[in-house]
A and B are shown apart, each in its own frame.
Chain A
Amino acid sequence: MTINKIFNSCDEAVADIFDGATVMIGGFGSYGGLPINLIVALSKQGAKALTIIANMGGVGYELSHRIKPGGYQDSGILFENGQVRKFIGSVPALGGMPPTSPLERLFNEGKVEIEMVPQGTLAERLRGGAGGLGGFYTPVGVGTTVEEGKEKKVINGREYILELPLTADFALIKAHKADAVGNLVYRQTARCFNPVMAMAAKTTIVEVDEMVPTGRLDPEVIVTPHIYVNRIVEVPA
């Protein structure tokens, strides 16, 4: 096996993300589990008209100081740069924060489209995309704005709505350790959306705290099997 998945830099790993691509961004929302270095690399690379699939829309560097002293970059920078056409996720903006996150500002100006998805439905749509399903029926969203335009069905006396799978051209994710073939383990709550996005994208790019030799990770505890991982960049924490 001669496939080399290891890239020397995040810049090289995201170089071919094209205008109009659909890109999943892992993590949950705030700092833990976000592929911050890959996001920054994509912001420098400059691809435009992107569709971003992520749980949260990012708060942007300015507001991030409220979450972590010193602040950090998140997907807010991609909105600030005008690189995004559409956002799909469960928390485009935080209710508790003033409407100053980059995505909320651009949405209010009519420059970005938002598809609002309940968080569990988002996770399951990703799993549907990963697992080759045509969709699934969920009771979540019945009787709310979420059901608008969707097929409804009564199953065993309960109302459900049809939700469709999500896939992407690229997933940018964060893991704790990778071996050279691309098996991944995560650290604590930094796992979150990363494994299911790794499985749902055509090309999955991961930044890891640490590379280890193949064979070093206990096969019993590997979370993401290597076939879901295409590119690895080590970014020591």
Chain B
Amino acid sequence: MKDRLDEQTIALRAAREFTDGSVVNLGYGMPGLCANLIPGDRTVFFQSENGMLGYGILATDEEKDYELINASDQPVTPLPGMCFFDSAAAFDMIRGGHIDIVVLGAYQVSETGGLANWGRPGRPATGMGGGMDLAVGAKKVIVTMLHTTKDGGPRIVGNCTYPLTARRCVSLIITDLAVMEVTENGLVLKEIAPGWTVPEVQALTEADIKPAEDLKEIEL
């Protein structure tokens, strides 16, 4: 078995997309790790659906304050300049295009950037939370996910078979095997995990992927 990237490394790769001064929302699960991984030369303002802008890294057990949490229930730390607001204002920011980047998890992403990240077979009561609003409203949607299911089946597909979060919303997919851009002409493979070949990644991907001319290894 070849090595795949671990979650920390996937999140680190996603955090490299955060430009200086950007407003970023982090979704449930793996994306939350990005809060601790901002490149040192940049300032990023993290926004959270429960009404907070400008929070810091995740809190340690000693620092925990249950009235200072992100939308994934993780206690976070305060930063100078942070502010609070209610849920309606939080989603004005989100729907209104005031969030530069959102990082979301996914069950499936389609070749046209369709996202399925909230419902799965056998669990009809799990909800979409703020995922639909974020997928529709953020200027750039980055997905961090594992490339395949537990059984090795594809999760980057022609058409999503799980309930859709939004159509044509994802612009960058970062997995444990690859970094792919969603373009007008389909998925372009920009970076590949060390030791993996394009045909090997394609074999685990239902959608067609085109290697970029400047395809490179994911920097660890």
Q: Which residues of A contact B (CB under 8 A)?
A: 28-33, 55-57, 67-68, 89-96, 99, 103-104, 107-108, 114, 116, 118-124, 126-127, 138-146, 186-196, 223
Contact = CB atoms under 8 A, between A and B. Distances in A.
Interface of B: 28-29, 48-52, 65-71, 73, 84-88, 90-91, 94-95, 118, 120, 122-133, 136-137, 163-167
A50 to B, nearest CB: 18
Nearest to A146: B132
B137 A188 contact: no
B127 A143 contact: no
B88 A127 contact: yes
Given A123-B87, A141-B132, A189-B84, A68 B66 contact: yes
Contacts of A186: 84
A55 B90 CA distance: 14
B73 A29 contact: yes
Contacts of B122: 99
22 contacts: A30-B73, A31-B66, A32-B66, A33-B50, A92-B127, A95-B120, A107-B125, A108-B124, A119-B130, A120-B91, A120-B133, A121-B133, A123-B91, A126-B88, A140-B133, A144-B166, A189-B67, A189-B68, A191-B86, A193-B87, A196-B86, A196-B87
Nearest to B91: A120
Contacts of A195: 86, 88
A107 B125 CA distance: 7
Contacts of A139: 95, 136
Contacts of A124: 88, 91
A142 B164 CA distance: 10
A90 B165 CA distance: 13
Given A119-B91, A123-B91, A194-B86, A91 B133 contact: no
A193 B86 CA distance: 6
Given A140-B95, A196-B86, A90 B127 contact: yes
| Closest 10 pairs between A and B when the two form their complex, measured CB to CB | A120-B91, A120-B133, A119-B130, A91-B127, A118-B132, A143-B167, A190-B67, A123-B87, A95-B126, A104-B125
Contacts of A57: 125, 127
Nearest to B78: A188
A94 B85 contact: no
Contacts of B128: 90-91, 116, 118-119, 146
A103 B125 contact: yes
Contacts of B51: 189, 191-192
B111 to A, nearest CB: 16
A96 B167 contact: no
B118 A119 contact: no
A99 B123 CA distance: 7
A140 B136 contact: yes
A189 B52 contact: yes
A168 B128 CA distance: 23
B125 A93 contact: yes
A103 B123 CA distance: 12
Contacts of A103: 125
